[in-house]
A and B are shown apart, each in its own frame.
Chain A
Protein backbone atom coordinates (compact mmCIF):
# COMPACT_ATOMS: atom_id res chain seq x y z
CA UNK A 1 0.00 0.00 0.00
CA UNK A 2 1.19 3.51 -0.81
CA UNK A 3 0.14 6.08 1.77
CA UNK A 4 0.12 9.76 0.82
CA UNK A 5 -0.42 12.67 3.21
CA UNK A 6 -1.22 16.12 1.84
CA UNK A 7 -0.63 19.26 3.91
CA UNK A 8 -1.94 22.68 3.12
CA UNK A 9 -4.25 25.40 4.31
CA UNK A 10 -8.03 25.64 4.23
CA UNK A 11 -9.07 26.97 0.82
CA UNK A 12 -6.12 25.52 -1.13
CA UNK A 13 -7.99 22.40 -2.21
CA UNK A 14 -6.16 19.99 0.09
CA UNK A 15 -9.16 17.67 0.41
CA UNK A 16 -9.93 17.89 -3.31
CA UNK A 17 -6.30 16.95 -4.08
CA UNK A 18 -6.57 13.69 -2.10
CA UNK A 19 -9.92 12.91 -3.75
CA UNK A 20 -8.54 13.55 -7.24
CA UNK A 21 -5.49 11.42 -6.50
CA UNK A 22 -7.78 8.55 -5.49
CA UNK A 23 -9.89 8.99 -8.63
CA UNK A 24 -6.75 8.95 -10.78
CA UNK A 25 -5.42 5.79 -9.07
CA UNK A 26 -8.83 4.15 -9.51
CA UNK A 27 -8.75 5.05 -13.22
CA UNK A 28 -5.36 3.32 -13.39
CA UNK A 29 -7.01 0.14 -12.11
CA UNK A 30 -5.81 0.42 -8.52
CA UNK A 31 -7.81 0.48 -5.30
CA UNK A 32 -7.77 3.85 -3.56
CA UNK A 33 -9.21 5.59 -0.53
CA UNK A 34 -9.10 9.33 0.17
CA UNK A 35 -10.32 11.16 3.22
CA UNK A 36 -9.84 14.49 4.96
CA UNK A 37 -8.56 15.14 8.47
CA UNK A 38 -12.08 15.55 9.66
CA UNK A 39 -12.79 18.91 11.17
CA UNK A 40 -14.28 22.31 10.97
CA UNK A 41 -11.25 23.84 9.28
CA UNK A 42 -11.32 27.50 8.43
CA UNK A 43 -9.79 29.22 5.44
CA UNK A 44 -6.08 29.56 6.09
CA UNK A 45 -5.88 27.03 8.94
CA UNK A 46 -3.55 24.02 8.53
CA UNK A 47 -5.42 21.14 6.86
CA UNK A 48 -4.39 17.54 6.20
CA UNK A 49 -5.86 14.99 3.83
CA UNK A 50 -4.91 11.40 3.13
CA UNK A 51 -4.87 8.95 0.23
CA UNK A 52 -4.11 5.22 0.23
CA UNK A 53 -3.39 3.41 -3.04
CA UNK A 54 -3.12 -0.37 -3.19
CA UNK A 55 -3.55 -3.42 -5.40
CA UNK A 56 -5.77 -4.98 -2.73
CA UNK A 57 -9.09 -3.60 -1.46
CA UNK A 58 -8.43 -1.12 1.37
CA UNK A 59 -10.01 -1.79 4.74
CA UNK A 60 -8.04 0.28 7.28
CA UNK A 61 -9.64 3.60 8.14
CA UNK A 62 -7.13 5.15 10.52
CA UNK A 63 -5.45 8.43 9.57
CA UNK A 64 -2.05 8.00 7.92
CA UNK A 65 0.59 8.40 10.64
CA UNK A 66 3.46 6.84 8.65
CA UNK A 67 3.17 8.08 5.07
CA UNK A 68 5.26 6.95 2.13
CA UNK A 69 4.86 10.32 0.44
CA UNK A 70 4.10 13.88 1.44
CA UNK A 71 2.68 16.65 -0.71
CA UNK A 72 3.09 20.09 0.85
CA UNK A 73 0.81 22.66 -0.76
CA UNK A 74 1.95 25.57 1.39
CA UNK A 75 5.63 25.95 2.30
CA UNK A 76 4.78 28.42 5.08
CA UNK A 77 3.67 25.36 7.05
CA UNK A 78 7.24 24.07 7.14
CA UNK A 79 8.06 25.80 10.38
CA UNK A 80 4.58 25.63 11.90
CA UNK A 81 3.53 21.99 11.65
CA UNK A 82 5.62 18.82 12.02
CA UNK A 83 5.09 17.93 8.39
CA UNK A 84 7.61 15.13 8.23
CA UNK A 85 6.29 13.19 11.24
CA UNK A 86 6.32 9.47 10.56
CA UNK A 87 7.64 9.75 6.99
CA UNK A 88 9.36 6.54 5.95
CA UNK A 89 13.13 6.93 5.22
CA UNK A 90 12.46 5.69 1.68
CA UNK A 91 9.64 8.22 1.36
CA UNK A 92 9.10 11.10 -1.04
CA UNK A 93 8.40 14.78 -0.45
CA UNK A 94 6.97 17.20 -2.99
CA UNK A 95 6.79 20.82 -1.87
CA UNK A 96 5.02 23.67 -3.64
CA UNK A 97 7.82 26.20 -3.95
CA UNK A 98 9.97 27.93 -6.51
CA UNK A 99 12.86 27.55 -4.09
CA UNK A 100 15.12 24.58 -3.32
CA UNK A 101 15.18 22.60 -0.07
CA UNK A 102 18.31 24.51 0.96
CA UNK A 103 16.67 27.86 0.26
CA UNK A 104 13.61 26.78 2.22
CA UNK A 105 15.81 26.16 5.26
CA UNK A 106 15.17 22.42 5.35
CA UNK A 107 18.43 21.31 3.79
CA UNK A 108 18.99 18.96 6.72
CA UNK A 109 16.29 16.68 5.30
CA UNK A 110 18.53 15.92 2.34
CA UNK A 111 20.73 13.57 4.32
CA UNK A 112 17.78 11.69 5.72
CA UNK A 113 15.99 10.83 2.49
CA UNK A 114 17.01 9.81 -1.02
CA UNK A 115 17.92 13.03 -2.85
CA UNK A 116 15.87 12.20 -5.94
CA UNK A 117 12.77 11.79 -3.77
CA UNK A 118 12.91 15.34 -2.38
CA UNK A 119 11.54 17.77 -4.92
CA UNK A 120 9.96 21.16 -5.21
CA UNK A 121 7.69 22.46 -7.93
CA UNK A 122 6.38 26.04 -8.28
CA UNK A 123 2.76 24.87 -8.36
CA UNK A 124 1.23 28.21 -7.37
CA UNK A 125 3.14 29.98 -10.17
CA UNK A 126 2.09 27.30 -12.67
CA UNK A 127 -1.54 27.60 -11.54
CA UNK A 128 -1.39 31.39 -11.97
CA UNK A 129 0.04 30.93 -15.43
CA UNK A 130 -2.40 28.30 -16.70
CA UNK A 131 -5.48 28.88 -14.58
CA UNK A 132 -5.16 32.52 -13.65
CA UNK A 133 -5.66 31.66 -9.98
CA UNK A 134 -3.15 30.69 -7.27
CA UNK A 135 -4.62 27.23 -6.60
CA UNK A 136 -1.72 24.77 -6.49
CA UNK A 137 -3.44 21.42 -5.91
CA UNK A 138 -3.89 20.16 -9.47
CA UNK A 139 -0.37 21.18 -10.47
CA UNK A 140 1.04 19.34 -7.47
CA UNK A 141 -0.77 16.18 -8.51
CA UNK A 142 0.87 16.46 -11.93
CA UNK A 143 4.23 16.81 -10.20
CA UNK A 144 3.43 13.86 -7.99
CA UNK A 145 2.67 11.70 -11.04
CA UNK A 146 6.25 12.36 -12.17
CA UNK A 147 7.73 11.71 -8.73
CA UNK A 148 5.78 8.54 -7.97
CA UNK A 149 4.70 5.66 -10.17
CA UNK A 150 1.47 5.43 -8.14
CA UNK A 151 -0.56 7.31 -10.75
CA UNK A 152 -0.20 8.19 -14.42
CA UNK A 153 -0.35 11.78 -15.61
CA UNK A 154 -3.10 10.72 -18.05
CA UNK A 155 -5.32 9.59 -15.19
CA UNK A 156 -4.51 12.69 -13.14
CA UNK A 157 -5.55 14.84 -16.12
CA UNK A 158 -8.72 12.81 -16.56
CA UNK A 159 -9.64 13.10 -12.87
CA UNK A 160 -9.12 16.89 -12.97
CA UNK A 161 -11.16 17.27 -16.16
CA UNK A 162 -14.02 15.17 -14.74
CA UNK A 163 -14.12 17.21 -11.55
CA UNK A 164 -13.89 20.73 -12.98
CA UNK A 165 -14.78 20.60 -16.66
CA UNK A 166 -14.61 23.56 -19.05
CA UNK A 167 -12.01 26.29 -18.82
CA UNK A 168 -11.16 25.63 -15.16
CA UNK A 169 -10.60 21.95 -15.94
CA UNK A 170 -8.46 22.73 -18.97
CA UNK A 171 -6.37 25.26 -17.01
CA UNK A 172 -5.78 22.85 -14.17
CA UNK A 173 -4.87 20.05 -16.58
CA UNK A 174 -2.36 22.35 -18.30
CA UNK A 175 -0.86 23.29 -14.93
CA UNK A 176 -0.64 19.60 -13.95
CA UNK A 177 1.03 18.65 -17.23
CA UNK A 178 3.48 21.51 -16.91
CA UNK A 179 4.32 20.46 -13.35
CA UNK A 180 4.72 16.86 -14.52
CA UNK A 181 7.35 17.91 -17.09
CA UNK A 182 9.01 20.23 -14.57
CA UNK A 183 9.44 17.43 -12.00
CA UNK A 184 10.55 14.97 -14.69
CA UNK A 185 13.32 17.40 -15.68
CA UNK A 186 14.29 17.87 -12.02
CA UNK A 187 14.63 14.11 -11.58
CA UNK A 188 16.68 13.83 -14.77
CA UNK A 189 18.95 16.68 -13.63
CA UNK A 190 19.49 14.97 -10.27
CA UNK A 191 20.29 11.70 -12.04
CA UNK A 192 23.05 13.46 -13.99
CA UNK A 193 24.31 15.57 -11.11
Chain B
Protein backbone atom coordinates (compact mmCIF):
# COMPACT_ATOMS: atom_id res chain seq x y z
CA UNK B 1 0.00 0.00 0.00
CA UNK B 2 1.27 3.44 -0.92
CA UNK B 3 1.98 5.45 2.21
CA UNK B 4 3.64 8.73 3.10
CA UNK B 5 6.14 7.43 5.62
CA UNK B 6 9.57 7.98 7.12
CA UNK B 7 12.34 6.01 5.39
CA UNK B 8 13.34 4.24 8.60
CA UNK B 9 9.75 3.21 9.28
CA UNK B 10 9.35 1.90 5.73
CA UNK B 11 12.49 -0.21 6.16
CA UNK B 12 11.49 -1.45 9.62
CA UNK B 13 8.07 -2.54 8.40
CA UNK B 14 9.44 -4.22 5.30
CA UNK B 15 12.12 -6.03 7.32
CA UNK B 16 9.38 -7.21 9.72
CA UNK B 17 7.50 -8.69 6.75
CA UNK B 18 10.64 -10.66 5.88
CA UNK B 19 10.02 -12.43 9.23
CA UNK B 20 13.43 -12.25 10.89
CA UNK B 21 13.65 -14.64 13.83
CA UNK B 22 16.38 -12.73 15.63
CA UNK B 23 17.03 -9.00 15.56
CA UNK B 24 20.09 -7.97 17.57
CA UNK B 25 20.97 -4.29 17.50
CA UNK B 26 22.47 -1.35 19.29
CA UNK B 27 21.17 2.17 18.62
CA UNK B 28 23.29 4.72 16.75
CA UNK B 29 22.18 7.73 14.70
CA UNK B 30 20.92 7.75 11.99
CA UNK B 31 19.92 4.07 12.15
CA UNK B 32 18.08 4.22 15.49
CA UNK B 33 14.53 4.70 14.16
CA UNK B 34 14.80 1.44 12.20
CA UNK B 35 15.62 -0.77 15.20
CA UNK B 36 13.22 1.18 17.43
CA UNK B 37 10.50 0.38 14.91
CA UNK B 38 11.40 -3.30 14.92
CA UNK B 39 11.58 -3.50 18.69
CA UNK B 40 8.10 -1.92 18.88
CA UNK B 41 6.73 -4.47 16.44
CA UNK B 42 8.22 -7.34 18.45
CA UNK B 43 6.73 -5.88 21.65
CA UNK B 44 3.23 -5.47 20.18
CA UNK B 45 3.30 -8.86 18.50
CA UNK B 46 3.03 -7.38 15.01
CA UNK B 47 6.35 -9.10 14.34
CA UNK B 48 5.62 -12.57 15.65
CA UNK B 49 8.17 -15.32 16.24
CA UNK B 50 11.08 -12.93 16.56
CA UNK B 51 13.44 -12.41 19.44
CA UNK B 52 14.69 -8.83 19.78
CA UNK B 53 18.04 -8.63 21.54
CA UNK B 54 19.02 -5.25 22.94
CA UNK B 55 22.74 -5.94 23.18
CA UNK B 56 25.48 -3.85 24.79
CA UNK B 57 27.43 -2.97 21.63
CA UNK B 58 27.60 -3.38 17.89
CA UNK B 59 30.22 -6.06 18.33
CA UNK B 60 27.71 -7.99 20.42
CA UNK B 61 24.94 -7.29 17.89
CA UNK B 62 26.87 -8.90 15.05
CA UNK B 63 28.09 -11.71 17.30
CA UNK B 64 24.51 -12.48 18.33
CA UNK B 65 23.47 -12.46 14.66
CA UNK B 66 26.29 -14.87 13.88
CA UNK B 67 25.16 -17.23 16.65
CA UNK B 68 21.53 -17.00 15.61
CA UNK B 69 22.26 -17.47 11.92
CA UNK B 70 24.51 -20.46 12.63
CA UNK B 71 21.59 -22.22 14.32
CA UNK B 72 19.45 -21.64 11.25
CA UNK B 73 17.54 -18.55 12.36
CA UNK B 74 16.93 -15.63 9.99
CA UNK B 75 18.99 -12.83 11.56
CA UNK B 76 18.98 -9.09 11.02
CA UNK B 77 20.73 -6.02 12.39
CA UNK B 78 21.25 -2.37 11.51
CA UNK B 79 24.00 0.10 12.29
CA UNK B 80 25.96 3.12 11.05
CA UNK B 81 29.37 4.75 11.12
CA UNK B 82 31.52 3.90 14.17
CA UNK B 83 29.01 1.15 14.96
CA UNK B 84 30.00 -0.63 11.76
CA UNK B 85 33.67 -0.24 12.65
CA UNK B 86 33.00 -1.69 16.08
CA UNK B 87 31.49 -4.70 14.28
CA UNK B 88 34.40 -5.04 11.87
CA UNK B 89 35.94 -8.20 13.28
CA UNK B 90 32.58 -9.95 13.45
CA UNK B 91 31.70 -8.81 9.90
CA UNK B 92 34.58 -10.90 8.58
CA UNK B 93 33.45 -13.84 10.68
CA UNK B 94 29.91 -13.63 9.31
CA UNK B 95 31.12 -13.61 5.72
CA UNK B 96 33.90 -16.12 6.29
CA UNK B 97 31.43 -18.56 7.84
CA UNK B 98 28.96 -17.95 5.00
CA UNK B 99 26.12 -16.81 7.25
CA UNK B 100 23.18 -15.15 5.46
CA UNK B 101 22.73 -12.20 7.83
CA UNK B 102 21.07 -9.07 6.47
CA UNK B 103 22.05 -5.66 7.78
CA UNK B 104 20.80 -2.18 7.02
CA UNK B 105 23.54 0.41 7.09
CA UNK B 106 22.33 4.00 7.52
CA UNK B 107 25.38 5.55 5.87
CA UNK B 108 27.17 8.06 8.07
CA UNK B 109 30.67 9.56 8.13
CA UNK B 110 33.46 8.14 10.25
CA UNK B 111 35.41 10.36 12.64
CA UNK B 112 37.63 11.94 13.64
CA UNK B 113 36.57 14.69 13.47
CA UNK B 114 33.36 13.37 14.98
CA UNK B 115 30.46 13.91 12.59
CA UNK B 116 27.03 12.34 12.64
CA UNK B 117 26.01 13.27 9.09
CA UNK B 118 25.88 11.30 5.89
CA UNK B 119 28.61 10.06 3.61
CA UNK B 120 29.80 6.63 2.51
CA UNK B 121 33.02 6.31 4.47
CA UNK B 122 31.48 3.67 6.76
CA UNK B 123 30.33 1.20 4.11
CA UNK B 124 33.37 1.87 1.93
CA UNK B 125 35.66 1.00 4.86
CA UNK B 126 34.11 -2.48 4.92
CA UNK B 127 33.78 -2.98 1.18
CA UNK B 128 36.28 -5.82 1.28
CA UNK B 129 34.81 -7.58 4.33
CA UNK B 130 33.11 -10.23 2.20
CA UNK B 131 29.63 -8.74 2.55
CA UNK B 132 27.51 -8.01 -0.50
CA UNK B 133 26.82 -4.27 -0.64
CA UNK B 134 23.66 -2.86 -2.20
CA UNK B 135 22.96 0.89 -2.35
CA UNK B 136 19.46 2.40 -2.33
CA UNK B 137 18.58 5.51 -4.32
CA UNK B 138 15.22 6.19 -2.65
CA UNK B 139 13.21 4.98 0.30
CA UNK B 140 11.14 2.83 -2.04
CA UNK B 141 14.31 1.12 -3.16
CA UNK B 142 15.65 0.90 0.42
CA UNK B 143 12.49 -0.97 1.42
CA UNK B 144 12.43 -3.14 -1.70
CA UNK B 145 16.07 -4.17 -1.35
CA UNK B 146 15.38 -5.99 1.92
CA UNK B 147 13.23 -8.86 0.59
CA UNK B 148 15.76 -9.14 -2.23
CA UNK B 149 18.64 -9.12 0.29
CA UNK B 150 17.16 -11.99 2.32
CA UNK B 151 16.58 -13.99 -0.86
CA UNK B 152 20.11 -13.37 -2.08
CA UNK B 153 21.76 -13.98 1.30
CA UNK B 154 19.98 -17.29 1.84
CA UNK B 155 20.37 -18.46 -1.76
CA UNK B 156 24.16 -17.96 -1.65
CA UNK B 157 24.84 -18.28 2.09
CA UNK B 158 26.42 -14.86 2.24
CA UNK B 159 25.73 -11.79 4.35
CA UNK B 160 24.21 -8.73 2.65
CA UNK B 161 24.49 -5.07 3.64
CA UNK B 162 21.74 -2.75 2.37
CA UNK B 163 23.18 0.76 2.38
CA UNK B 164 20.85 3.76 2.57
CA UNK B 165 21.97 7.34 3.05
CA UNK B 166 21.66 8.35 6.69
CA UNK B 167 19.29 11.26 7.38
CA UNK B 168 18.84 11.99 3.65
CA UNK B 169 16.82 8.78 3.31
CA UNK B 170 16.37 7.43 6.84
CA UNK B 171 14.77 10.66 8.11
CA UNK B 172 12.94 11.68 4.92
CA UNK B 173 9.17 11.33 4.66
CA UNK B 174 8.17 10.30 1.17
CA UNK B 175 5.77 7.90 -0.46
CA UNK B 176 6.66 4.24 -0.29
CA UNK B 177 4.61 1.38 -1.65
CA UNK B 178 4.96 -1.07 1.22
CA UNK B 179 4.72 -4.70 0.16
CA UNK B 180 2.05 -6.77 1.87
CA UNK B 181 2.85 -9.72 4.14
CA UNK B 182 1.53 -12.17 1.52
CA UNK B 183 3.68 -10.65 -1.22
CA UNK B 184 6.82 -10.82 0.91
CA UNK B 185 6.03 -14.35 2.12
CA UNK B 186 5.68 -15.47 -1.49
CA UNK B 187 8.87 -13.76 -2.54
CA UNK B 188 11.19 -14.51 0.37
CA UNK B 189 9.83 -17.85 1.62
CA UNK B 190 11.02 -19.59 4.79
CA UNK B 191 14.73 -19.82 5.63
CA UNK B 192 15.99 -23.31 4.94
CA UNK B 193 19.47 -23.19 6.43
CA UNK B 194 22.05 -25.13 4.48
CA UNK B 195 24.13 -25.38 7.63
CA UNK B 196 22.61 -25.23 11.09
CA UNK B 197 24.04 -26.04 14.47
CA UNK B 198 21.95 -28.73 16.10
CA UNK B 199 22.72 -30.30 19.52
CA UNK B 200 21.26 -33.56 18.27
CA UNK B 201 23.71 -33.71 15.40
CA UNK B 202 26.80 -31.79 16.49
CA UNK B 203 29.13 -30.29 13.88
CA UNK B 204 31.88 -27.71 14.05
CA UNK B 205 31.83 -24.50 12.08
CA UNK B 206 34.60 -21.96 12.33
CA UNK B 207 37.54 -24.34 12.46
CA UNK B 208 41.16 -23.21 12.54
CA UNK B 209 42.49 -23.38 9.00
CA UNK B 210 46.24 -23.25 8.39
CA UNK B 211 48.33 -22.48 5.33
CA UNK B 212 47.39 -25.85 3.85
CA UNK B 213 43.82 -24.77 3.07
CA UNK B 214 43.32 -21.06 3.89
CA UNK B 215 43.87 -19.98 0.28
CA UNK B 216 41.34 -22.47 -1.02
CA UNK B 217 38.70 -21.39 1.50
CA UNK B 218 39.28 -17.75 0.53
CA UNK B 219 39.23 -18.62 -3.18
CA UNK B 220 35.84 -20.27 -2.74
CA UNK B 221 34.58 -17.23 -0.83
CA UNK B 222 35.54 -15.05 -3.78
CA UNK B 223 33.96 -17.44 -6.26
CA UNK B 224 30.75 -17.49 -4.23
CA UNK B 225 30.57 -13.72 -4.06
CA UNK B 226 31.07 -13.52 -7.81
CA UNK B 227 28.03 -15.80 -8.21
CA UNK B 228 26.00 -12.94 -6.80
CA UNK B 229 26.63 -11.09 -10.07
CA UNK B 230 24.43 -13.70 -11.73
CA UNK B 231 21.94 -14.06 -8.88
CA UNK B 232 21.22 -10.35 -8.28
CA UNK B 233 19.75 -9.57 -11.74
CA UNK B 234 17.61 -12.73 -11.58
CA UNK B 235 16.25 -11.81 -8.14
CA UNK B 236 15.68 -8.18 -9.28
CA UNK B 237 13.77 -9.41 -12.33
CA UNK B 238 11.63 -11.71 -10.20
CA UNK B 239 11.02 -8.81 -7.84
CA UNK B 240 9.91 -6.58 -10.73
CA UNK B 241 7.56 -9.32 -11.91
CA UNK B 242 6.08 -9.93 -8.46
CA UNK B 243 5.86 -6.32 -7.26
CA UNK B 244 5.45 -4.43 -10.53
CA UNK B 245 8.37 -2.04 -10.11
CA UNK B 246 12.10 -1.96 -10.78
CA UNK B 247 14.29 -2.01 -7.67
CA UNK B 248 17.81 -3.20 -7.14
CA UNK B 249 19.85 -5.03 -9.74
CA UNK B 250 23.53 -4.44 -10.43
CA UNK B 251 23.51 -1.11 -12.26
CA UNK B 252 20.87 1.16 -13.77
CA UNK B 253 21.41 3.76 -16.47
CA UNK B 254 19.49 7.01 -16.77
CA UNK B 255 19.41 8.62 -20.24
CA UNK B 256 22.73 6.96 -21.08
CA UNK B 257 21.81 6.11 -24.70
CA UNK B 258 24.00 8.31 -26.94
CA UNK B 259 25.50 10.02 -23.84
CA UNK B 260 28.99 11.45 -24.32
CA UNK B 261 29.24 12.17 -20.61
CA UNK B 262 28.06 9.71 -17.97
CA UNK B 263 27.92 10.52 -14.27
CA UNK B 264 28.53 7.50 -12.04
CA UNK B 265 27.28 7.51 -8.44
CA UNK B 266 25.85 5.38 -5.62
CA UNK B 267 22.83 6.02 -3.45
CA UNK B 268 20.43 8.92 -2.98
CA UNK B 269 22.54 11.54 -4.79
CA UNK B 270 21.40 9.87 -8.02
CA UNK B 271 18.04 11.65 -7.66
CA UNK B 272 19.61 15.10 -7.62
CA UNK B 273 21.94 14.06 -10.46
CA UNK B 274 18.94 12.95 -12.56
CA UNK B 275 17.42 16.43 -12.14
CA UNK B 276 20.60 18.07 -13.43
CA UNK B 277 20.86 15.54 -16.28
CA UNK B 278 17.33 16.51 -17.36
CA UNK B 279 18.17 20.23 -17.28
CA UNK B 280 21.30 19.70 -19.37
CA UNK B 281 19.48 17.40 -21.81
CA UNK B 282 16.94 20.20 -22.36
CA UNK B 283 19.86 22.35 -23.42
CA UNK B 284 21.12 19.71 -25.82
CA UNK B 285 23.98 18.21 -23.78
CA UNK B 286 24.44 14.49 -24.30
CA UNK B 287 24.68 13.45 -20.66
CA UNK B 288 23.35 10.56 -18.62
CA UNK B 289 23.87 8.89 -15.27
CA UNK B 290 24.79 5.40 -14.16
CA UNK B 291 23.73 4.21 -10.73
CA UNK B 292 25.85 1.44 -9.29
CA UNK B 293 23.31 -0.45 -7.13
CA UNK B 294 25.62 -3.31 -6.20
CA UNK B 295 29.16 -2.27 -5.30
CA UNK B 296 30.28 -5.64 -3.85
CA UNK B 297 30.66 -7.80 -5.77
CA UNK B 298 31.73 -5.21 -8.29
CA UNK B 299 29.86 -5.59 -11.60
CA UNK B 300 32.93 -4.90 -13.71
CA UNK B 301 31.60 -6.21 -17.03
CA UNK B 302 28.27 -4.45 -16.68
CA UNK B 303 29.92 -1.13 -15.81
CA UNK B 304 32.35 -1.53 -18.73
CA UNK B 305 29.53 -2.20 -21.19
CA UNK B 306 27.42 0.67 -19.87
CA UNK B 307 30.26 3.19 -20.12
CA UNK B 308 32.16 1.97 -23.17
CA UNK B 309 30.52 4.41 -25.60
CA UNK B 310 31.06 7.46 -23.40
CA UNK B 311 33.81 9.97 -24.03
CA UNK B 312 34.13 10.87 -20.40
CA UNK B 313 32.88 9.70 -17.06
CA UNK B 314 32.41 11.79 -13.94
CA UNK B 315 32.44 9.73 -10.77
CA UNK B 316 30.72 11.42 -7.83
CA UNK B 317 31.52 9.61 -4.61
CA UNK B 318 30.85 10.21 -0.93
CA UNK B 319 34.09 8.69 0.38
CA UNK B 320 37.70 8.38 -0.69
CA UNK B 321 40.83 6.45 0.14
CA UNK B 322 43.06 8.94 1.96
CA UNK B 323 46.41 9.03 0.23
CA UNK B 324 45.18 7.10 -2.80
CA UNK B 325 42.08 8.77 -4.30
CA UNK B 326 38.56 7.83 -5.22
CA UNK B 327 37.29 4.34 -4.41
CA UNK B 328 34.40 4.13 -6.86
CA UNK B 329 36.70 6.02 -9.24
CA UNK B 330 39.41 3.36 -9.04
CA UNK B 331 36.87 0.61 -9.64
CA UNK B 332 35.43 2.54 -12.59
CA UNK B 333 38.92 2.94 -14.10
CA UNK B 334 39.50 -0.78 -13.70
CA UNK B 335 36.25 -1.48 -15.54
CA UNK B 336 37.30 0.87 -18.35
CA UNK B 337 40.92 -0.25 -18.68
CA UNK B 338 42.08 -0.17 -22.29
CA UNK B 339 39.17 2.01 -23.40
CA UNK B 340 39.69 5.65 -24.43
CA UNK B 341 37.38 7.08 -21.77
CA UNK B 342 38.49 9.94 -19.54
CA UNK B 343 37.54 9.56 -15.88
CA UNK B 344 37.04 12.52 -13.54
CA UNK B 345 37.02 11.63 -9.88
CA UNK B 346 35.00 13.93 -7.63
CA UNK B 347 34.49 13.55 -3.90
CA UNK B 348 31.24 15.16 -2.76
CA UNK B 349 28.88 15.25 0.17
CA UNK B 350 31.43 14.41 2.87
CA UNK B 351 30.17 14.59 6.43
CA UNK B 352 26.72 15.75 5.32
CA UNK B 353 27.70 18.65 3.05
CA UNK B 354 24.70 18.96 0.71
CA UNK B 355 25.31 17.97 -2.91
CA UNK B 356 23.30 20.67 -4.64
CA UNK B 357 22.04 20.93 -8.20
CA UNK B 358 23.90 24.22 -8.47
CA UNK B 359 27.25 22.67 -7.51
CA UNK B 360 26.72 19.68 -9.78
CA UNK B 361 25.76 21.97 -12.63
CA UNK B 362 28.89 24.04 -12.18
CA UNK B 363 31.02 20.88 -11.95
CA UNK B 364 29.58 19.49 -15.19
CA UNK B 365 30.08 22.85 -16.90
CA UNK B 366 33.74 22.75 -15.83
CA UNK B 367 34.09 19.26 -17.30
CA UNK B 368 32.41 20.29 -20.58
CA UNK B 369 34.77 23.28 -20.85
CA UNK B 370 37.85 21.13 -20.08
CA UNK B 371 38.51 23.08 -16.89
CA UNK B 372 38.63 19.93 -14.74
CA UNK B 373 41.75 17.84 -15.07
CA UNK B 374 41.07 14.15 -15.53
CA UNK B 375 42.93 11.51 -13.53
CA UNK B 376 43.27 13.49 -10.37
CA UNK B 377 41.04 13.79 -7.34
CA UNK B 378 38.69 16.78 -7.03
CA UNK B 379 36.63 17.88 -4.04
CA UNK B 380 33.25 19.42 -4.83
CA UNK B 381 32.69 22.80 -3.13
CA UNK B 382 36.04 22.68 -1.37
CA UNK B 383 36.52 25.94 0.55
CA UNK B 384 39.98 26.68 -0.77
CA UNK B 385 40.33 29.92 1.18
CA UNK B 386 39.72 28.06 4.45
CA UNK B 387 42.32 25.45 3.53
CA UNK B 388 44.88 28.12 2.56
CA UNK B 389 44.36 30.03 5.82
CA UNK B 390 44.74 26.85 7.85
CA UNK B 391 47.92 25.87 6.03
CA UNK B 392 49.27 29.37 6.62
CA UNK B 393 48.40 29.14 10.33
CA UNK B 394 50.10 25.74 10.56
CA UNK B 395 53.34 27.35 9.40
CA UNK B 396 53.20 29.60 12.47
CA UNK B 397 51.93 27.25 15.15
CA UNK B 398 50.89 23.62 15.44
CA UNK B 399 47.50 22.44 16.60
CA UNK B 400 44.55 20.39 15.41
CA UNK B 401 42.86 21.42 12.12
CA UNK B 402 39.31 20.66 13.24
CA UNK B 403 39.16 23.12 16.14
CA UNK B 404 41.19 25.73 14.33
CA UNK B 405 38.96 25.71 11.23
CA UNK B 406 35.80 25.86 13.35
CA UNK B 407 37.24 28.99 15.01
CA UNK B 408 38.12 30.40 11.59
CA UNK B 409 34.52 29.86 10.42
CA UNK B 410 33.15 31.43 13.61
CA UNK B 411 31.49 28.19 14.70
CA UNK B 412 33.20 28.07 18.12
CA UNK B 413 34.69 30.80 20.19
CA UNK B 414 36.81 28.82 22.61
CA UNK B 415 40.53 28.37 22.14
CA UNK B 416 41.48 24.80 21.47
CA UNK B 417 45.20 24.88 21.84
Contact = CB atoms under 8 A, between A and B. Distances in A.
B353 to A, nearest CB: 11
Interface in B145-196: 166-168, 171-175
Interface string A97-134: 00000000000000000000000000000000000000
A68 interface: no
B275 interface: yes
A182 interface: no
B211 to A, nearest CB: 48
B269 interface: yes
Contact of B271 (A22, A34, A60): A60
A33 B171 CA distance: 10
B175 A61 contact: no
B176 to A, nearest CB: 11
A89 interface: no
Contact of A59 (B4, B117, B271): B271
Interface in A16-47: 18-19, 22-23, 26-27, 31-36, 38-40
A60 B275 contact: yes
Contacts of B42: none
B354 interface: yes
A6 to B, nearest CB: 13
A22 B167 contact: no
A32 B4 contact: yes
A193 to B, nearest CB: 38
Given A33-B172, A61-B168, A62-B357, A38 B271 contact: no
A2 interface: no
A19 B8 CA distance: 13
Given A39-B117, A61-B268, A62-B357, A33 B275 contact: no
A23 B173 contact: yes
Given A59-B275, A61-B269, A34 B357 contact: no
B118 A19 contact: no
A143 to B, nearest CB: 21
Interface string B275-296: 1000000000000000000000
A61 B4 CA distance: 16
A60 B272 contact: yes
B148 to A, nearest CB: 21
B388 to A, nearest CB: 26
Contact of B173 (A35, A38, A40, A65): A35
B352 interface: yes
Q: Categorize the interface residue count of chain A.
A: 20 to 34
Contacts of B30: 38
A57 B344 CA distance: 30
A80 B174 CA distance: 31
Contacts of A62: 272, 354-357
Given A61-B269, A62-B355, A62-B357, A39 B4 contact: no
Given A38-B168, A62-B354, A62-B355, A19 B275 contact: no
Nearest to B30: A38
A95 B268 CA distance: 33
A58 interface: yes
Contacts of A18: 173
Given A22-B4, A32-B4, A62-B357, A38 B352 contact: yes
Q: Categorize the interface residue count of chain B.
A: 20 to 34
Contact of A35 (B4, B167, B275, B352): B167
B10 interface: no
Contacts of B166: 38
Given A22-B4, A23-B4, A58-B174, A35 B356 contact: no
B66 interface: no
Nearest to A20: B173
A59 B272 contact: yes
Contact of A22 (B173, B272, B354): B173
A155 to B, nearest CB: 11
Given A36-B167, A38-B352, A31 B175 contact: yes
A58 B173 CA distance: 11
B141 interface: no
Contacts of B341: none
Contacts of B168: 35, 38, 61
Given A22-B4, A35-B167, A38-B118, A63 B354 contact: yes
A62 B360 CA distance: 11
B272 A34 contact: no
A19 B356 CA distance: 22
Contacts of A40: 29, 116
A39 B172 contact: no
A71 B294 CA distance: 40
Among B4, B166, B354, chain A packs the most CB atoms within 10 A around the CB of: B4
Nearest to A21: B173
A38 B171 contact: yes
B36 to A, nearest CB: 16
19 contacts: A19-B6, A27-B4, A33-B172, A33-B174, A34-B172, A34-B173, A36-B167, A38-B116, A38-B117, A38-B167, A38-B168, A39-B116, A39-B117, A40-B29, A58-B174, A60-B275, A61-B272, A62-B357, A65-B356
Given A59-B274, A60-B271, 10 more contacts: A33-B172, A34-B172, A38-B30, A38-B116, A59-B275, A60-B275, A61-B168, A62-B272, A62-B357, A63-B356
